Chain A
């Protein structure tokens, strides 16, 4: 029984770490994969999601609905940011990085001024159960399930809907997509809104596990950026899944033995080594493997 519990506990740790990485990075990955833009305001969008969920929750709205509400609120904010600022930076990767950082400064400090440094926390929903001497949080398992569901939903959107088809066409060849009647402007706006909304949703999901503060996003951006860098931009979904699993493989044992901070340091070191071996990220590597050919 105890061996079973130990195995379950290791799997649980591994799964929650991977789910954490995937959930914090998914919004970033959607935007990067489509538009070759890294959204440095990602942490602040997560913060907005957490604030929305917290405020809604304390008004008496059940947590799952509050989290979904966060998705839509932050998606609208993302669409506004895209219309006003980001759309002028397509094709200028570094410019987009810098301008979204400016946005993140504005969002973070404005929140501090409006809401003050702290906010009432949300208790972790659901309880926990024990298997042998190991205890498991239901919410942790829910996060793993949600991470998988998010991947499935994105896969469905990108491969089974008209929007997904047009989005992939825009990604491959924007000029040709426009010539064939795809409104690429609208696709870009919707993609950015989707990425922002996912950031807000993930912020809401993380809200019960951390303290809610204006600069709370900062603790998520380092792991999220590493996941994205390791995943690469070649294929959004395989990159996201592959890199969060691989990085969890690094983080789980080191975090378990030496503490959470060194776990994150190990992530950075792993990222440096992985990009040294696979400069275009794990997604390009997997893609090449799947295509069964060598070279680009």
Chain B
């Protein structure tokens, strides 16, 4: 038990004091009591702000802790979402279909991530090549999914649907209970908390220290006997699966997915969330992802077409003036001391 606490409360994330944990408990309690202060429609919206958090945490670990930047996290989001839609759609009527479909979606992410990551990391490419290739992969996936309109593009009874998207995807279900409204919100909350605590334990573990060593100096880490290719590949696959978790939550929330979700504009957003929060701290990314999704959703529902301009400008400003991220910079300011510059 004390080892578990030491893992969760290690020094590689923000918030280690008793006061922090009290505040965090209050926030979680506030979310848990959501039905008291928010309508079912409000809960539905808040679920949406939550569901991108696993994807952002994955990118945060990959970029901030491991020094590998990926622009293609939405590709795994899409892979999981489409695979879920295909399997669950074909097993419709079966109470256990959605669980099988979720596992299938995650497995697909892991397989695609492993194959792609093998070629990239075992080639020991230079740092700038990984984001470029992941971006190209995303673009091709979008193009592919976009041209799957028509009856010939179907798997079993499910049509891929081209740019019209895949519709009527079954919600998540355990036994005979379907997760919708408040119960979907609780399901998403638990998944997000589990992902966050899991990531936090990982970065504080031995493997997390190795990740940091590779980020700081890959040659030195390698000379000390660590197989950096394997470590990078493992984190890459993990990040792909976390993106897959977000993809699953998204289709289970909206029952709908289009190729636009895998597009270039969407691909930029996770980078914005992670950069704005501060890529070296998971908690900062969690908060910024929630806040920026809320902001983006408000803009989108108002039909504001400047949303991508704001996101782009935010990214440029943060990279210029807060290279460590806004939330991390603020947290440092209040703590009154700096971590060693990286």
Q: Which residues of A contact B (CB under 8 A)?
A: 36, 38, 40, 85, 88-89, 93-95, 97-99, 101-106, 108-110, 112-113, 215, 218, 221-222, 225-226, 228-229, 233, 261, 264-265, 268, 271-273, 275-276, 279-280
Contacts and interface: CB of A to CB of B under 8 A. Distances in A.
Contacts of B143: 261, 264
Interface residues of B, number: 45
B133 interface: yes
Contacts of A229: 129, 132-133
Contacts of A268: 133, 136-137, 140
Contacts of A40: 135
B319 A105 contact: no
26 contacts: A38-B131, A85-B316, A88-B320, A89-B319, A93-B127, A94-B127, A94-B128, A95-B319, A99-B316, A99-B320, A102-B312, A105-B312, A106-B312, A109-B308, A109-B312, A110-B309, A112-B305, A113-B306, A215-B264, A228-B132, A261-B147, A264-B143, A268-B140, A276-B122, A276-B123, A279-B124
Nearest to B267: A101
Contacts of B268: 101-102, 105
Contacts of A102: 268, 272, 311-316, 319
Contacts of A88: 320
B136 A222 contact: yes
The prevalent SS among residues of B at the interface is: helix
Given A106-B309, A268-B137, A276 B316 contact: no
Contacts of B305: 109, 112-113
Given A93-B127, A105-B268, A109-B308, A225 B135 contact: yes
| Chain A interface SS verdict (over half) | helix
Contacts of A215: 264
A101 B119 contact: no
Interface in B188-212: none
A245 to B, nearest CB: 20
Given A222-B140, A268-B137, A275 B132 contact: no
Interface of B: 63, 69, 71, 116, 119-120, 122-129, 131-133, 135-137, 139-140, 143-144, 147, 264-265, 268, 271-272, 275, 305-309, 311-316, 319-320, 323
A88 B316 CA distance: 11
B128 to A, nearest CB: 5
A99 B265 CA distance: 15
A154 to B, nearest CB: 21
Nearest to B315: A102
Given A113-B305, A276-B122, A38 B323 contact: no
A103 B132 CA distance: 16
B308 to A, nearest CB: 4
B128 A97 contact: yes
A113 B303 CA distance: 13
Contacts of B320: 85, 88, 99
A275 B133 CA distance: 11
B119 A273 contact: yes
Contacts of B132: 38, 225, 228-229
Contacts of A222: 136, 139-140
A110 B307 CA distance: 10
A97 B63 CA distance: 13
Nearest to A94: B69
B74 to A, nearest CB: 13
A218 B264 contact: yes
Contact of B119 (A99, A233, A276): A276
B240 to A, nearest CB: 16
Given A98-B319, A113-B306, A222-B136, A93 B147 contact: no
Nearest to B129: A229
A151 to B, nearest CB: 22
A272 B306 contact: no
Contact of A105 (B69, B122, B275, B309): B309
A265 B306 contact: no
* 5 A-B pairs closest in CB distance: A105-B312, A102-B315, A106-B312, A102-B316, A109-B308
Given A98-B271, A271-B133, A103 B128 contact: no
A218 B139 contact: yes
B133 A105 contact: no
Nearest to A271: B133
Nearest to B115: A272
A108 B133 contact: no
Contacts of A94: 63, 69, 127-128, 131
A213 to B, nearest CB: 13
B139 to A, nearest CB: 5
